[in-house]
Structure 1
Amino acid sequence: MKDFFMNSIYFGIFLTLISYALGIVISKKTKFFLFSPLIVSIVLCIAFLVAAKIPYESYAAGANFIACLLTPATVCLAIPLYEQVEKLKENWLAVLCGILCGVVVNLVLIFLFCLLFKMEHTEYVSLLGKSLTTAIALGITEELNGIIPVIVVMVVLTGNLGNLFAVQVCKIFRITEPVAKGVAIGTASHALGTSKAIEIGEVEGAMSGLSIGIAGILTVILAPVFAGLIP
């Protein structure tokens, strides 16, 4: 059976879809925010691979077909934005300023924490793209000669944290304006956070999707500047 799983390109697809389906069921049954379908599916996939002693490479051979859907799925986020274009016209300056502030604060905090923990340049630049969608984050990290596995882990971690705690953070800081919620979530936690924003509301999802692209552009411009702060 193990050999069958290792040699089948459909194994990764099957395990991913089944794990996510179980994650949805568990999330609906428990109604506990920590049991997000994304988190549950990741845990289930890892647990199965470890228990069955199946190499990650065997799983990835099939799962990569699903990963290829990431780019078109991100592009599809333009649809809710188009439907909320009037809301964007009314708040374009606030949206732009909010995204810019979020990007700058993110980069400044990374810089300060790297100074605090005395990280070297390579590790530092490997963190600058943590709040961006994977495609942009990988491009920036490669350009700055960072460590690809590090940025991949950080992007996944950041997105999942945003997906898990976005609602709670908004409640704690009493953020009730839909546009503000969407901008904050999209700027801080890219596509995974945006999936939660879409669940919250149409306006939140649209603004979050917009924030992914603009935050990516601003980070591409600012990251090389911040990269030079730690030689």
Structure 2
Amino acid sequence: MSELRDLAGEPVFGVALTIGAYALALRLNRRWKWMHPLFACTGMLIVLLLVADIPYEDYSKGGEIVSFFLGPTTVALAVPLYKSLLTMRRRLKAIAVGVAAGSVAGLCVSSLVVLAFGGSKELLITLLPKSVTTPIAIELSKQLAGNAPLTGVFTVLTGLLGSMFGPALLRLFGLRSDLTIGAAVGTAAHGIGTGRLARESEAQAGISGFAMSLSGLVMSLLGIPLAIWLPIWLR
């Protein structure tokens, strides 16, 4: 165990551990469809770090290298987006209005819930970006003096829950078109939801990628003034 702790200080340890845990999580997902790979991977990493008594700071030396690829991965979602461009072009206005309305509704609901329970302005800022992709959410939280690590946690949880239950709930209510599922999941569950759709339908993933991008733009434009002025308006 001491040798493992010594190795943990090397960046390659965090990289190898993350990739290995995710590969195992994918195998578990193929056997049990309800188990999201990201959820399983995170759980395995937490258990291993606790059991082996490895400080998170040591693991994060390699974990930060993996985190760096969040940006390029998000950009790569432009590929299915381009392939779905023809389908979206016919309904672009409807998609844009729906995504913008969903984004604004999400911002307002999050704000009202925090304020209704007496949450602080810092908590409000921390929660506001939870439905946009992680790099944007964390950067917005930092710029507005929120709790960026906690924003990351809420953002990932939002994406996980949206990707695990969103498509099934939409189908339960009779919403089965690629356009509807892609737009709804992209708006609410950002990159994690889009990644889930990419395994099932390239068309849904493309629309979801567009919705995710537009949602991030809406959040950037409206989230900042909302975080500043809403607590003042509701005093």
TM-score range relative to shorter protein:
over 0.9
Q: Which residue is 2:4 aligned to? A: 2
Q: Which residue of 2 aligns with 1:101?
A: 101
Contact persistence 1:198–1:204 (CA under 8 A): yes
User: How far apart, in 2, do the equivalents of 1:143 and 1:17 lie?
Assistant: 31
Given the two structures, how large is their TM-score scaled by the length of structure 1? 0.95
Residue 169 (structure 2) pairs with residue 169 (structure 1) = yes
| Paired amino acid for 1:139 | E
How far, CA to CA, are the matches of 1:140 and 1:29 in structure 2? 37
2:209 matches 1:209:
yes
| Alignment partners' CA distance in 1, 2:38 and 2:5 | 27
Question: SS state of the match for residue 38, structure 1?
Answer: helix
Aligned residues: 229
Q: Which residue of 1 aligns with 2:197?
A: 197
Which residue is 1:74 aligned to? Answer: 74
Which residue is equivalent to 1:28? 30
CA drift at 1:125: 1.3
Is it true that 1:184 corresponds to 2:184 in the alignment?
A: yes
CA distance in structure 2 between the aligned counterparts of 1:121 and 1:30, rounded to whole angstroms: 40
CA-to-aligned-CA distance 1:119-155 (integer Å, 9 cap, x gap): 1111111111001112211222122221212211111
Distance (Å, rounded) in 2 between the aligned partners of 1:170 and 1:95: 16
CA distance in 2, matches of 1:148, 1:7: 24
TM (norm. structure 2) is: 0.93
Matched AA of 1:147: N
Equivalent residue letter for 1:177 = S
Closer, same or farther: CA 224–8 of 1 in aligned 2, 3 Å? closer
Report how far residue 37 of structure 1 moved: 1.4
2 CA distance for matches of 1:64 and 1:41? 16
In structure 2, the partner of 1:42 is 42
Does structure 2 retain, via aligned residues, the 8 Å contact 1:166–1:196?
no
Structure 1 unaligned blocks of 5 or more: none
Q: Which residue of structure 2 aligns with residue 230 of structure 1?
A: 231
Structure 1 residue 105: deviation in Å?
A: 0.8
**For structure 1, which segment, 94-103 or 221-230, has the greater mean C-alpha deviation from structure 2 after superposition?**
221-230
Report the counterpart of residue 12 of structure 1 in structure 2. 14
Whether the 8 Å CA contact 1:26–1:37 is kept in 2: the answer is yes
Identity of aligned residues (%): 31
Residues 91-100 or 155-164, more deviating: 155-164
Residues in 1 aligned to 2:230 and 2:127: alpha-carbon distance in whole angstroms: 14
Give the match's secondary structure for 2:146.
coil
Alpha-carbon separation, structure 1, partners of 2:119 and 2:182: 32
Report the CA distance between 1:64 and its aligned residue: 1.4
Structure 2: runs of 5 or more not aligned: none
Q: C-alpha displacement at 1:115, in angstroms? A: 2.1
8 A Cα contact 2:138 2:151, kept in partner: yes
Contact 1:170 1:176 (8 Å CA) reproduced: yes
Distance 1:84 1:164 in 2: 23
**Shift, 1:157, TM fit:** 0.9
- Counterparts of 1:27-176 in structure 2 under 5 Å? 27-31=29-33, 33=34, 35-176=35-176
Displacement after TM superposition at 1:73 (Å):
0.9
